[in-house]
């Protein structure tokens, strides 16, 4: 191809450039190693000196022209590309916002505490609370657990200081606080956190209890059995069998441990009930006269029953969870399973 043909070809191609790739192809076609312009320069060798100079100028002018075109077109394409990108990514700040906030869920322990509270409220109980940092006197002494009593060792205690304050080891001091400020009849439950130096798959150093206390002139062990049976059947939503085993607690006499027929295997025996078919779920008993007297209640005139249950254990049984730690790790993947609560 001679110079005129190369120029003609360039003129016909330059209007068709759409992309940086087209542009690169154009550069190769004319200015590359085997490009037409490069070829024209090579052919100059065969021309006469006068012609060479004249032709050389013209070829050079064409090369510069193509060079300039590539530079300008390259910039134009880049600008176009940026504009399109900005257009695509533009935010329309006039669009309405997302008005529906994602709905969270109740923590399974909160849900269980609420459920337990609701059942007892329906039976006429009111809710009392007390501090988690408690007087040693209320946590032990007034509950018939004097100093050096072996029961103090049963509950590995976190002491706050040496002035008689500790992290309550059970919700029972709320019994004392209630009886100190209120005349019987009393019919309360007290849900709350308690602390013990205990740490394994079924024990956490901080856990939840619900305490119950009924004091009046005529209350009996039979009343207690009835109340607890009604509660357990309502909570587990089935006609669970309930049994009372004699036990010992310093603050009740007589005392009982309460078992239900295993809700996992329906009494056939499984890993959770250790093959016995029974699950221990509650401690209960008639309030010891010493506790009533310590709180200034006439133990000749009034009687009472009390019970305590571990919320974590109830939640573990209800939702079939075998590690108490799951309640306190607050792993969102675990908690999301309770969205319907």
Q: How far is the CB of 243 from Zn ion (least distance, A)?
A: 14
Which positions ≥6 away from 14 have C-beta within 8 Å?
A: 26, 69, 73
Restricted to residues 31-70, the positions that interact with Zn ion (CB under 5 A) are none
Restricted to residues 106-145, the positions that interact with Zn ion (CB under 5 A) are none
Q: How far is the CB of 192 from Zn ion (least distance, A)?
A: 29
Q: How far is the CB of 259 from Zn ion (least distance, A)?
A: 11
CA distance 97 to 87: 21
Q: Which is nearer to Zn ion, 111 or 265 (CB)?
A: 265
Q: How far is the CB of 233 from Zn ion (least distance, A)?
A: 18
Cβ-proximal residue to Zn ion, closest one: 262
Q: How far is the CB of 240 from Zn ion (least distance, A)?
A: 12
Could you tell me if 237 and 339 are in contact, meaning their C-beta atoms sit under 8 angstroms apart?
no
The span from the first CA to the last CA of the chain, in angstroms, equals: 83
User: Per the annotation, does 68 bind a ligand?
Assistant: no
Restricted to residues 231-270, the positions that interact with Zn ion (CB under 5 A) are 262, 264-265, 270
> Cα–Cα distances in Å, from 289 out to 12, 102, 123, 204, 323?
112, 53, 25, 32, 38
**Cis check: omega of the bond before 281, within 30 degrees of 0:** no
Q: Which of 62, 70, 273, 295 binds Zn ion (CB under 5 A)?
A: 273
Total residues in contact with Zn ion, by rule CB under 5 A: 5
- The total of other beta-carbon atoms located within 10 Å of residue 96's CB is 5
Q: Which is nearer to Zn ion, 210 or 317 (CB)?
A: 317
Task: Reduce the DSSP state of residue 194 to 3 states and report it.
Answer: strand
**272: which DSSP letter?**
T
Cα angle vertex 113, ends 107, 118, to 5°? Answer: 125
The residues of the shown chain that bind Zn ion, judged by CB under 5 A, are: 262, 264-265, 270, 273
Annotated binding-site members: 253
Binding site for Mg(2+): what residues are annotated? 253
């Amino acid at each position: 191809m001679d110079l005129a043909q190369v120029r003609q070809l360039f003129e016909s191609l330059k209007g068709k450039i759409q992309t940086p790739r087209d542009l690169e192809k154009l550069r190769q076609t004319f200015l590359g190693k085997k490009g037409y312009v490069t070829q024209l320069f090579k052919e100059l060798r065969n021309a006469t000196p006068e012609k060479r100079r004249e032709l050389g100028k013209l070829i050079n002018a064409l090369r510069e022209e193509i060079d300039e075109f590539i530079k300008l077109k390259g910039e134009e394409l880049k600008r176009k590309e940026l504009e399109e990108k900005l257009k695509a990514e533009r935010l329309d700040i006039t669009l309405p916002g997302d008005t529906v906030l994602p709905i969270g869920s109740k923590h399974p322990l909160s849900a269980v505490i609420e459920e337990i509270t609701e059942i007892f409220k329906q039976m006429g109980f009111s809710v009392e609370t007390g501090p988690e940092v408690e007087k040693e006197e209320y946590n032990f002494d007034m509950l018939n657990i004097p100093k050096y009593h072996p029961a103090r060792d049963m509950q590995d205690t976190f002491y706050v200081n040496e002035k008689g304050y500790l992290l309550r080891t059970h919700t029972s001091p709320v019994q004392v606080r209630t009886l100190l400020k209120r005349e019987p009849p009393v019919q309360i439950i007290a849900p709350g956190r308690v602390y013990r130096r205990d740490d394994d798959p079924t024990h956490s150093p901080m856990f939840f209890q619900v305490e119950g206390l009924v004091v009046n002139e005529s209350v009996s062990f039979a009343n207690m059995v009835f109340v607890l049976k009604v509660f357990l059947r309502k909570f587990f939503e089935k006609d669970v069998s309930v049994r009372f085993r004699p036990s010992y607690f310093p603050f009740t006499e007589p005392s009982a441990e309460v078992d239900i027929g295993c809700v996992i295997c329906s009494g056939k025996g499984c890993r959770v009930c250790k093959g016995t078919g029974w699950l221990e779920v509650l401690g209960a008993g008639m309030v010891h006269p010493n506790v009533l007297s310590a709180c200034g209640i006439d133990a000749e005139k009034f009687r009472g029953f009390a019970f305590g249950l571990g919320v974590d254990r109830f939640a573990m049984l209800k939702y079939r969870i075998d590690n108490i730690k799951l309640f306190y790790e607050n792993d969102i993947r675990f908690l999301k399973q309770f969205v319907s609560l």
